[in-house]
């Protein structure tokens, strides 16, 4: 069973469209995240949720809106897609919150490759 699963894995869409990426974790974790990996492989956090509540909202355009219907799901909706949104988006989760211990290890999904044309 995949611990953190996200769909779709590949998404090609036109500028201006709206798209969503879904994420589910079956690890029983309380905290979920969205990370973005750019073309240079740099990973940066976008959002984190703990028990369905938004904890971190980095400087991300408000065209990006996360939604957490329950603590096992964190979806990412993107409005008015732009060319610069092309990236790999990773969903992730961790058990403990807050903290820096091994229990806070973040486990990632397989990534969603978004290409905006």
Quick count: other Cβ atoms within 10 Å of Cβ 95?
Answer: 17
Residue nearer to another protein on the CB measure, 104 or 115: 104
Task: Give contact residues for another protein (rule: CB under 8 A).
Answer: 33, 35, 40-45, 48, 50, 55-56, 88, 90, 92, 97-102, 104-111, 113
Instruction: Compute the least distance from the CB of residue 16 to another protein, in Å.
Output: 27
Residue nearer to another protein on the CB measure, 67 or 111: 111
Residues with Cβ within 8 Å of residue 78, at least 6 apart in sequence: 18, 19, 20, 21, 63, 64, 65, 85, 114
CB 71 within 8 A of CB 30: yes
Instruction: Compute the least distance from the CB of residue 49 to another protein, in Å.
Output: 11
Instruction: Compute the least distance from the CB of residue 102 to another protein, in Å.
Output: 5
> β-strands 87-94, 107-108: how paired?
antiparallel
Residue nearer to another protein on the CB measure, 62 or 100: 100
Instruction: Compute the least distance from the CB of residue 107 to another protein, in Å.
Output: 6
Q: How big is the chain, counted in residues?
A: 117
């Amino acid at each position: 069973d995949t611990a953190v699963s996200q769909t779709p894995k590949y998404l090609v869409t036109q500028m201006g469209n709206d798209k969503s990426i879904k994420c589910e974790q079956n690890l029983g974790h309380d905290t979920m995240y969205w990370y973005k990996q750019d073309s240079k492989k740099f990973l940066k956090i976008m959002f984190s949720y703990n028990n369905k509540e938004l904890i971190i909202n980095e400087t991300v355009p408000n065209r990006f809106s996360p939604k957490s219907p329950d603590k096992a799901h964190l979806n990412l909706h993107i409005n008015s897609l732009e060319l610069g949104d092309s990236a790999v988006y990773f969903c992730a989760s961790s058990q403990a919150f807050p903290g820096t211990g091994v229990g806070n290890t973040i486990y990632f999904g397989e990534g969603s490759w978004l290409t905006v044309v």
